[in-house]
Amino acid sequence: MMKIIESPREAMQGFSRIIPTKNKVDYINLLLRSGFNTVEVGSIVSPKLIPQMADSLDVLRQLDLSTNASHIMFLAVHDRGVEKLADLDAITHISFPFSFSPTFLKLNVNSTVERSLETVELVTGLCSKKGKQAVIYISMAFGNPYDDPWDIDLLTGWVARLRDAGARTIMLSNVSVEIDAALIDRVYRALTPAFPDMEIGLHLHTANVGWQEKVEAAWRAGCRRFDGVMAGWGGCPMAGKEMLGNLRTENLVEFAGMKGIESGIEQEAFTRASRRSSGLFRISNIEH
């Protein structure tokens, strides 16, 4: 089974032209009928830094969750946001962007490695208490463009520390560093057997060329949880580096189909959502 996580939050956050709340709600409602394991609806971040996400809680309140089978995920980047999300029954998963790159954390969330680890402990603790699931992202998990230390042994050590902090679902992300299939293979073949009690997924930023061998490498090495974004829109606007687009959700669905892997996707609803995304984001991109 391939778990496909769709993130309209990731797609929307990089657009300077504000997408109307109703348009977001209508689009996300289509995604919720498409069979995704999880849909990342929005985030609690500074509206001054990322104004596109200022209406995230309004979007959540207006969603039609009456027939939804997908998990609802929200991202928080600080303690106050985590505490606010923990009290919202509609949210099943809280995501948090951790990194052991001091430079990335300073640029992205104005934090330190140890302070971010404390927030991880808050996220996992509150999720356990409130019956939610914590999803901890490791940004710059495949290398570091800022000359901060990185190697697979260091990554493995930090995954162990996150496990000790209560994390059981971790997503590895490259953010702004293009990576190849060989590196993905090495990383997952090191981590998957070392942490059999954890779900270690892939949040891949990549050009559309060469996506298949990267997904294949992760799948063969034991990865079963994949993030995608319709048409590959978005990226991390606070990374301090040029944004890479996201792995296209359409590619993940294609990969699952080619390999005969069950994904839970409802093809007709998925096609409607894909078409809607094309119109929504192309219009928004006019002033991007």
Tokens 């590959």 sit at which residue?
A: 232
Query: In whole angstroms, how large is the CA radius of gyration of the chain?
Result: 17
| 98 inside domain | yes
Q: Say which CATH number the domain at 72 has.
A: 3.20.20.70
What is the extent of the structural domain holding 169? 3-281
| 287 inside domain | no
| 258 inside domain | yes
Check if the beta carbon of residue 159 is closer than 8 Å to that of residue 170: yes
C-alpha 287/C-alpha 281 separation (Å) is: 11
C-alpha 217/C-alpha 191 separation (Å) is: 14
| 154 inside domain | yes
**Predicted TM-score (pTM) of this structure:** 0.94
pLDDT in tens, 95-141: 999 999 999 998 888 899 999 999 999 999 999 999 999 999 999 99
- DSSP-assigned states of every residue in 197-224: TSEEEEE-B--STTHHHHHHHHHHTT--
| 12 inside domain | yes
Cβ neighbors of 239 (< 8 A, separation 6 or more) are 104, 107, 108, 139, 175, 176
Residue type, 199: E
Q: How many H-runs (helices) and E-runs (strands) does the chain carry?
A: 11, 8
pLDDT in tens, the chain (288 residues): 999 999 999 999 978 889 999 999 999 999 999 999 999 999 999 999 899 999 999 999 999 999 888 999 999 999 999 999 999 999 999 999 999 999 999 888 889 999 999 999 999 999 999 999 999 999 999 999 899 999 999 999 999 999 999 999 999 999 878 899 999 999 999 999 999 999 999 999 998 889 999 999 999 999 999 999 999 987 655 444 445 689 999 999 999 999 999 999 999 999 999 999 988 886 554 443
| 267 inside domain | yes
- If one counts the domains in the chain, the total is 1
Share of the chain above pLDDT 90, in %: 81
Check if the beta carbon of residue 3 is closer than 8 Å to that of residue 225: yes
